[in-house]
Chains A and B, each alone.
Chain A
Amino acid sequence: MSTVPDNLRYASTHEWVHVEDDGIATVGISDHAQNALGDIVFIELPEAGTIVNSKDEVAVVESVKAASDIYSPVSGEILEINEELLDAAETVNVAPYDGGWFYKLKMSDAAELDDLMDADAYIKHCDAE
């Protein structure tokens, strides 16, 4: 069984978002996603400063199984990327919600969070796949 923390919002494409009070969102991929991908070997991340729209392809995950696009669940400006993943992509397998975060972004439209799922809805979404 994969882990689905209650305090995050989820996209149907398996990214998660954690929003702080200051409107800074942290983005990663879910435990379900890393488990489906298998061992992750490389991750391509966007550059800080990039403006992205929700559902844009922002990153690529190369696992032993396949290359997968990662879509930004929310719009905004990329403030910081997790550079540790460039040399240690397997962190996403081990800690998808902690050390395995992908990037932080200054959200431009807080209303987009309403389009994302809460933990219960995401669990149902994964079960239905």
Chain B
Amino acid sequence: MGQHTPLYQKHLDAGAKMVDFAGWDMPLNYGSQIDEHKRVRSTAGVFDVSHMTVVDISGDDAKAYLRKLLANDVEKLDAEGRALYSAMLNENGGVIDDLIVYRMSFGYRIVVNCATRSKDLAWMNSHSAGFDVALVEKPELAILAVHGPQSLDKVCAVLDQGQLYPVKTASINLLENFRGVELGNWFIARTGYTGEKGLELIFPEKEAPAFWDKLVAAGVHPIGLGARDSLRLEAGMNLYGHDMDEEISPLAANMEQTIAWQPEDRDFIGRSAVVRHRAEQAAGSMPRLVGLVLEQRGVLREGQRVLCDNGEGIITSGGFSPTLKHSIALARIPVNSHSCQADIRGTLTSVRIVKPNFVRFGKKVFE
């Protein structure tokens, strides 16, 4: 038996097909992944992502520590509640994990992937020496993501019911993207993994089942990990362990924009390596992560070879796009490739190279 989130019984009650995800029993879908996907694009859905790891970082050196630990620069977080997406690199410039860091009243909060929890914590602890910081994992917190065009209205309607929650909904309605607000022991931010408007709510796990019930009663449909994956793929967002890992440079994973190159004297872990990678990229020897589109029948899948005019690449994530009604993929291919074919079960099929971003706010965004 795997680990359970505080909503495990709710998933069973809702008829979820449960699967093992990195040691956790999690809902794959509650019937139809495609229906769930479409609900998030058209109305609102709720994801239980309480299996993800929350680490709170406090102490006088919290900022200095994170400026060393992360490839993006927490100096950009100029107000409480602001959020930043970053890679955590090793000395070779490989991606240990990707994460979100929030600036909080007490310091910073990081949310890392569940599958990488142990190595992330070990890495973060081993690099805290010499810094006045305290790293505290927060397993007692639940995390729900509520996404879709109606998500903010639905969440605010639930939070307003009977003043049960220490949350002023006006402060949520006014949030801009990548900003959050701390309200008592609740933290609510405009972040997520779907390409839709939405919120992530981090709050005490004992309050999670009742809050879940109220969301569902308000018409927010439970969404499983299957649709979470197809939504993030449409949004062109990377999945750790698939689109990048410790052997992959962020420059080969469409993460260049998440590296804060300035100021040049900020010595983050992996800096010298990614500076070298940038030179390799300029010389044309660093592959790049692109989007692939297959407008005919068939499905692009992770691991399929991609034969390009300039060499061979590989699909790192692929699947069927319920919004576009055809297959899309992320693939790592040689630079300066203009045409390519995917090897789909032994058949070479022409695919189109596009920017790795397919759907935003329910609409196709590539040419």
Contacts and interface: CB of A to CB of B under 8 A. Distances in A.
25 contacts: A38-B28, A38-B33, A38-B226, A39-B33, A41-B34, A41-B299, A41-B320, A42-B298, A42-B299, A42-B320, A44-B297, A60-B345, A62-B298, A62-B299, A62-B320, A64-B33, A64-B226, A64-B320, A65-B226, A66-B301, A67-B299, A67-B301, A67-B345, A90-B34, A93-B32
- Looking at A41, A64, A90, the one whose CB has the most chain B CB atoms below 10 A away is A64
Contacts, number: 32
Contact of B34 (A39, A60, A67): A39
Classify chain A's interface size. 10 to 19
B319 interface: yes
B72 interface: no
Nearest to A41: B320
B150 interface: no
B90 interface: no
A67 B299 CA distance: 8
A2 to B, nearest CB: 12
A35 B176 CA distance: 41
Interface in B288-317: 297-299, 301
Interface string A32-45: 00000011011010
Q: Which 4 A-B pairs have the closest CB atoms?
A: A41-B320, A39-B34, A62-B299, A42-B297
A38 B319 CA distance: 13
Given A62-B299, A64-B226, A64-B320, A39 B345 contact: no
Given A41-B299, A42-B320, A90-B34, 15 more contacts: A38-B33, A39-B32, A41-B34, A41-B320, A42-B298, A42-B299, A44-B297, A62-B298, A64-B33, A64-B34, A64-B226, A66-B301, A67-B299, A67-B345, A93-B32
Contacts of B299: 41-42, 62, 67
A38 B29 contact: yes
Interface in A38-84: 38-39, 41-42, 44, 60, 62, 64-67
Contact of B230 (A64, A90, A93): A64
A42 to B, nearest CB: 5
B130 to A, nearest CB: 47
Interface of B: 28-29, 32-34, 226, 230, 297-299, 301, 319-320, 345
Contacts of A60: 345
A20 B230 CA distance: 42
Nearest to B34: A39
Contacts of A62: 298-299, 320
A62 B29 CA distance: 17
Contacts of A65: 226
Contacts of B297: 42, 44
Interface string A75-107: 000000000000000100100000000000000
A38 B229 CA distance: 14
- Looking at A62, A66, A93, the one whose CB has the most chain B CB atoms below 10 A away is A62
B356 to A, nearest CB: 20
Nearest to B345: A67
B298 A64 contact: no
A66 B301 CA distance: 8
A62 B319 CA distance: 10
Contacts of A38: 28-29, 33, 226
B96 to A, nearest CB: 29
A51 B33 CA distance: 36
A93 B31 CA distance: 10
A60 B320 CA distance: 15
Nearest to A43: B297
A42 B319 CA distance: 12
Contacts of A41: 34, 299, 320
A108 B95 CA distance: 58
A41 to B, nearest CB: 4
A38 B230 CA distance: 13
A77 B228 CA distance: 43
- Looking at A39, A44, A66, A90, the one whose CB has the most chain B CB atoms below 10 A away is A39
A26 B34 CA distance: 28
A60 B298 CA distance: 10
A38 B320 CA distance: 12
A67 B230 CA distance: 16
A68 B44 CA distance: 32
Contacts of B301: 66-67
B303 to A, nearest CB: 11
A65 B28 CA distance: 10
